[in-house]
Amino acid sequence: MNQRFLGSIIAAALITTTVVADDTLIQRFDKMEKEMAALKAELNTLKEEKETASKKTAVVVTPAAEKTVMTNTADVSKEIDDIKDQLADLNKKTNGNNLKFGVDFRTSYDNLQYTMADGSKQSNDALLTNRLWLNMNYAATKNLSFTGQLAYNKTFGERSLSPDNVQNNDGFDWVSGESAYDDTLRVRSAYFFYTDDELAGLDIPWTISIGRRPSTEGHLINLRDDDHASSPLAHTVNVEFDGASAKFGTEELIGLDGSYFKLCAGRGMSNAEPRFNPAPYATSQDTTNNIDMVGIIAVPYDDKQYSTGFQYTYANNLIDITDSGFNTNNIPATSTGYNPTMEAVGGLHTATAFAMVNGIGDGINDFLDDTTFFVSGAMSKTDPHVGKTMLGSTESETGYSYWIGTQFPSLLTDEGRWGAEFNHGSQYWRPITYGEDTLIGSKIAARGNAYELYFTEPLVDDILTFQLRYTYIDYDYSGSNGFFGSTSGTPMAISDVPAPMQSSIVDKAQDIRAYIRYKF
């Protein structure tokens, strides 16, 4: 048996060391996978021999024979440990500890319909887009890992939706991977992640991560988006962001299932001069400043059927357009095209709380057991800088919103999921949800009512899926998708919009979307 084992090791070594320089990467992986398979087979054989030797121990009565069996068992154990070490090394060389990629590719059809405040119509009957996410993961140790995602999102047949000399807000960093804008592959997220089971000797599992954090497709909106939820509660925050977070599990500490709290901080805009200025990256003398955000997320209870959560954030130096970028004849005010200036106008408090039931009742029937229901409430409160206005007011204004939704099993297939949601926002409601996955503007930000139905069905297991979605927004006030000041964010009742502006203010918006999505 030892000779057979030695022979297999020698053969494995020869396979590994005789790989020539001009071998392709695939050939190298094939050789290592064959080597791994051979070692696994050897390991199974040795385990069987160990079990046989253990059984013999029970019937051996002479001391000499017992000593022989025990020696053989020890030898087998040592050989098993050696092979395990080799398998671990091979696993690292093939795919175990190397960067692993996943693909998420979606082709969408959107039918967009708008009714303006003057009753006129605008539309796009067939907007086609491709969205690609390349997911990356690498686990250097059991505690430390890296996660990243590259994103590409564009309309069919267009390198860019705007000429090169036009600057618009589609390229804003908060939505750089969310807007169907151009053919550039961008970093949507990239961060390291450290986790441990204890904190200072206490039974408090904790994590910390720093980088471009995933902050879109957060809790509740992820149901419609058919994604795993990222950290934020999406009722108030749904944008890409650079920053850090630290999470602390409190289940053992306070005795409530799934409880934790999370501290978050990030920067949404940096005030710095360009690289080739006289003082590169020094603070600029612009009218904008660093936009920083801090927040806390607390989940006091989550037993996978019943859960509740809270979130508070504060962002400072939020911006708005200081002028429209056009002159009185609606012509770009500069020779380089539409190029409005921006300024910092103040801060914003947001708070939200939700409750979710994942499985209604206890065994009433299969349909209710697999039905999810949630309700969420949120508020926003402006904090204008001295001498500035926010949302058309020099005073602090408070807005409110509520969100109700359900997701239930498909009536057509075993694995499909259907859903219905309703949102309402008040006059001064202002969340930070520019990254929401809709083309007609954030439904969550609507100052008015938003209605949504969606049907998600598998085509090939959970790899290829189809979704049909209908979103309808009926605005009560303008400025729902504007910024935070008074130029783009002032809420005007739709019925009170002055005649010269009515053709540029949306009263009602509708998006019918159908997509096919590949995830693997």
Coil, helix or strand at residue 319: strand
- 478 forms bridges with which residues in the sheet? none
Assign 405 to helix, strand or coil.
strand
Mean pLDDT score, 236-241: 92
Quick one: how far is CA 273 from the chain centroid?
30
Give the span between the Cα atoms of 188 and 227, in whole angstroms. 15
Across 156-170, 205-219, 461-475, least confident range:
156-170
Residue 111 three-state SS: strand
The continuous run of DSSP H or E covering 2 comes out as: helix 2-17
Residue 4 is predicted with a pLDDT of: 43
Interval 94-150: pLDDT, tens: 555 567 899 999 999 999 999 999 999 999 999 999 999 999 999 888 899 999 999
pLDDT of residue 76: 65
| Nearest-angstrom CA–CA distance, 250 and 302 | 11
The tokens for 501 are 């502006």
Look-up: residue for tokens 């070692």?
39
- The angle subtended at Cα 127 by Cα 122 and Cα 128, nearest 5°, is 175
Residue 89 parent element (H or E): helix 63-94
pLDDT at res. 160: 63
Other beta carbons less than 10 A from residue 427's beta carbon: 18
- What are 40's two structure tokens? 């696994």
What confidence score (pLDDT) does residue 37 get? 72
Burial state string for 449-484 with b = 16 or more CB within 10 A and e = fewer than 16? ebebebbbebeeeeeebebebebbbebbbbbbbbbb
pLDDT tens by residue, 43-70: 677 667 666 655 554 444 445 544 444 4
pLDDT of res. 185: 87
Encoded tokens for 324 = 């429209």
Max distance between CA atoms of the chain, in angstroms, equals 108
Degrees, nearest 5: CA angle 464-468-473: 140
Q: CA 48 from chain center: how many Å?
A: 46
Which pLDDT score, from 0 to 100, does residue 38 have? 74
Mean pLDDT of 237-251: 94
Please give the helix or strand (H or E) that residue 29 lies within, else none.
helix 25-57
Residues in the chain, total: 520
Nearest one of 348, 351, 369, 352 to 360, comparing CA atoms? 369
- The mean pLDDT value of the chain amounts to 84
Element (H, E) at 260: strand 260-269
Q: Are 495 and 507 in contact (CB under 8 A)?
A: no
Give the range among 60-69, 215-224, 250-259, 260-269 with minimum mean pLDDT: 60-69
- One DSSP character per residue, 410-444 reads -SS-SS-EEEEEEEEE-TT---B-TT-S-SS--ST
Contacts of 469 by beta carbon, 8 Å cutoff, 6+ apart: 224, 452, 453, 454, 455, 511, 512, 513, 514
Alpha-helical (H) ranges within 313-471 are 366-369
Run of H or E including 201? none
Question: Which positions ≥6 away from 212 have C-beta within 8 Å?
Answer: 187, 188, 189, 190, 191, 240, 241, 242
C-beta separation of 472 from 112 below 8 A: no
3-class state of residue 159 by DSSP: coil
For 353-376, write each residue's pLDDT tens digit: 999 999 998 888 999 999 999 999
- The dihedral of CA 80, 81, 82, 85: what is its sign? positive
Q: Which two tokens stand for residue 263?
A: 């501290």
Confidence check: pLDDT of 288 > 70? yes
End-to-end CA distance of the chain, in Å? 42
Q: Which distant-in-sequence residues (6+ apart) come within 8 Å of 209 by Cβ?
A: 191, 192, 193, 194, 244, 245, 246
| 504 Cβ neighbours under 8 A, 6+ residues apart | 116
pLDDT of residue 90: 64
Element (H, E) at 22: none
- The H or E element spanning position 146 is strand 144-155
CB atoms within 10 A of CB 19: 12
- Mean pLDDT over 73-101 rounds to 68
**Do the Cβ atoms of 378 and 520 come closer than 8 Å?**
no
What is the b/e burial string over 159-197, where b = at least 16 CB atoms within 10 angstroms of the residue's CB?
eeeeeeeeeebbebbbbbbbbbbbeeebebbbbebeeee
